Amino acid sequence: MTISHSAQSLDDILLAFAAEADHGQATLSSYLASFPEHAEALAALAAEIALSTASRDQPVPVDDPAIARAWAVFQSTAPLETKSVATSGMLANLEPGRFLALAKTLDVNAVFLSRIRDRLVAFATIPHAFLVRLAEAAGGELAALAAELDQPPAIATGQRFKAEGKPATAAQMTFAEAIASSHLTTEQRAKLEALSGP
């Protein structure tokens, strides 16, 4: 690892990780141990790097072990409220490789798509144009997707058993807040904001 912990910005940390010769489990674990406050962003970057190593001219193989490992690392580092909590529906039942391929097709990262899937984004704030793109890319009906996403967020199973008191569901955010806080690239943010209209 070529970066010190002292006063480094998130961008510096992500750039240092991206510049590493090896993005494997040992390197990612080292960064996660040194920068636990940036675990979500680091895991998302690791998943994106795993996806980018696939040929751009070929579809992403859904059974690629590198994708499955990156997704497992991402899910193990995500805060409880961002872990998959949906139990049924076209997004909830996607295998990790298919989920990451869907994120790539939509030109979003796994963090953003996870928030949509887990209903952490208030349905009323999601632009219709994005819902249409998502339904088409997922190979499902718009009405079924709308019914799936127009539900309150569920409590993560792990949170139910770890809570000292009665666990509460995560607060929902707006589509704009999800764009701003999901570590999307400038281009990804611009495309999503354009779907929201004026």
- Nearest CA among 94, 91, 82 for reference residue 154: 82
Segment 43-86, tens digit of pLDDT = 878 877 776 555 444 555 556 666 666 666 666 655 544 444 44
Q: Of 79-83, 99-103, 189-193, give the lowest mean pLDDT range.
A: 79-83
Residues 2-50: pLDDT tens digits?
Answer: 555 555 777 788 778 777 777 778 888 888 888 888 888 888 788 777 7
3-state secondary structure of 19: helix
Which one has a higher pLDDT value, 141 or 77?
141
Global pTM reads 0.56
HEC secondary structure over 107-159: CCCHHHHHHHHCCCECHHHCCHHHHHHHHHHHCCCHHHHHHHHCCCCCCCHHH
Return d(Cα 149, Cα 59) in angstroms, integer: 27
- Amino acid sitting at position 111: V
Split at pLDDT 50, 70, 90, the class of 141 is: very high
**What's the pLDDT at 136?**
95
Least Cα distance to 79 among 45, 43, 27, 34 occurs for: 43
